[in-house]
Structure 1
């Protein structure tokens, strides 16, 4: 089941698709179950919600504004250097513990919205990734039960301002420029995918050219392992998002480097999950606070 979080003329909406098309409701209509972020926060059964939406009226996704599945997650926990080929191109050794860093909600954008190239840099890189949305919270979660805590999966482009990222050992600045974290287009419920999305093909394309090509089974730290290891220290909450890492082929590792430019389009595709597509746009003068 795919479930989408959308806005129609300023009114929140939710729709589901089991392969027969999108059906759903807006907040102003009778029977509206709540927005997708609200349902995740409540620990709702999203598969049941999706089934309940299917008898509703058809939703044309081209006529609504898609939103990130969770626009304001309590936490966005990203994993660096989680594919062997990305480690190799980075010249680093295989880690014994995942490299965890944070993103913030102010960096998030939805499917089809522009990734913004800031005026302070030309080093805007792409990173195709699998996103995991937590549905049931907990601390010290057992590996064998970790996937029971997953509400669903989505696609993510962890676009990075490389020169800012590498100015210090901490990656926070380079990973958190406004308008650089593309997230969506929808949430896939776990029943629709292999456990932990294991084995699914992941690809990143710049203007149609394949730049990243790998499989989720090549993660050094799998989805249940990440949930287990992160929750040793941090209580996971419903709505938290774990961004699992990117395969090799990033622009900074190429010779010469390949960075995204205004007018480019980057696509993240994961087998069975769809495509997250975003154009690149230079940040405008109007986006500077006064």
Structure 2
């Protein structure tokens, strides 16, 4: 497995056309601690803070860009969840047009959200713990946003300015528990089921405007989901703006933007994750998650 680190040359920071320096940040386990790290070629430069704490510091971008520490080879790094103590994990549901069609549900008039708790999160290569109470654990690749500054009651322009960067989540879902009642929480936040990472890629690495990226999910090398974020019903700035009307979004908060079509529960016959399966979740330009199910 090769993570998509960066098109930069080693020891250089990328610059998108007409924009400032861009960064790829990770959260890695070093000497018994979780520390933020900046990707630099095939190495990771270890920073002082854990990434969640770094994002809460004023001027975190400059700190992340200029700080230097020990170097860890990417190939040998132990990736922790990208953020470990977010104040909020907010997930959009029914937000890809093709996915809405496969579920047979009506198209939402407004963004629809549910939540997760931090104990659900695992790192990019950690084992995924299948629940013992169900045999219906399903996959959901998602483009995910991390907030970089406090934001409340903003329009879409203000929402864009609040984005620290983009990452990847697999919103692994226990389908039968998801539908035990009218809300989805129970099926969405089983402990150690939700890989998040491997990198936080700052917005300047992407063209201006609504982001358009390919996202895929595979099980044991077999492609299950493939789509583009251009199929989103509500785009990233709309989701952030909508939630900012409800509550203050804080640095380190996670917003997952929904999954495309191809979930196992809608296959004929349905397919679900089993022990030993390798779940691979990827967005070119951001990276790849690869998690073995146990």
Point out where structure 1 has 5 or more consecutive residues left out of the alignment. Answer: 26-31, 282-290
Q: 1:229 matched to which residue of 2?
A: 242
SS of the counterpart of 1:173? helix
Q: Deviations over 1:225-278 (max 9, x none)?
A: 001111111111111100100000000000000101111011111121111111
CA separation of 1:273 and 1:196: change in aligned 2, threshold 3 A: farther
Checking the alignment, whether the CA contact within 8 Å between 2:167 and 2:201 is kept in structure 1 is yes
Checking the alignment, whether the CA contact within 8 Å between 1:147 and 1:195 is kept in structure 2 is no
Task: Work out which of the residue numbers 199, 202, 206 in structure 1 matches 2:215.
Answer: 202
Q: Deviations over 1:83-103 (max 9, x none)?
A: 011101100111111111010
Q: 1:138 matched to which residue of 2?
A: 151
SS of the counterpart of 2:241? helix
The 2-side partners of 1:206 and 1:194 are apart by 31
Map 1:18-33 → 2, pairs under 5 A: 18=40, 20-25=41-46, 32-33=47-48
The 2-side partners of 1:50 and 1:193 are apart by 19
Q: 2:183 matched to which residue of 1?
A: 170
The number of residues matched between the two structures is: 272
Checking the alignment, whether the CA contact within 8 Å between 1:196 and 1:224 is kept in structure 2 is no
Q: 1:95 matched to which residue of 2?
A: 108
Q: CA RMSD in A?
A: 1.6
The 2-side partners of 1:196 and 1:276 are apart by 26
Q: 1:52 matched to which residue of 2?
A: 66
The 2-side partners of 1:196 and 1:121 are apart by 41
The 1-side partners of 2:286 and 2:122 are apart by 18
Q: 1:14 matched to which residue of 2?
A: 36
- TM-score w.r.t. the length of structure 2 is 0.88
Q: 1:110 matched to which residue of 2?
A: 123
CA separation of 1:76 and 1:43: change in aligned 2, threshold 3 A: farther
Q: 1:268 matched to which residue of 2?
A: 281
Instruction: Tell me which stretches of 4 or more aligned residues in structure 1 moved more than 6 Å.
Output: none
Point out where structure 2 has 5 or more consecutive residues left out of the alignment. Answer: 1-22
Q: 1:28 matched to which residue of 2?
A: none
- TM-score w.r.t. the length of structure 1 is 0.89
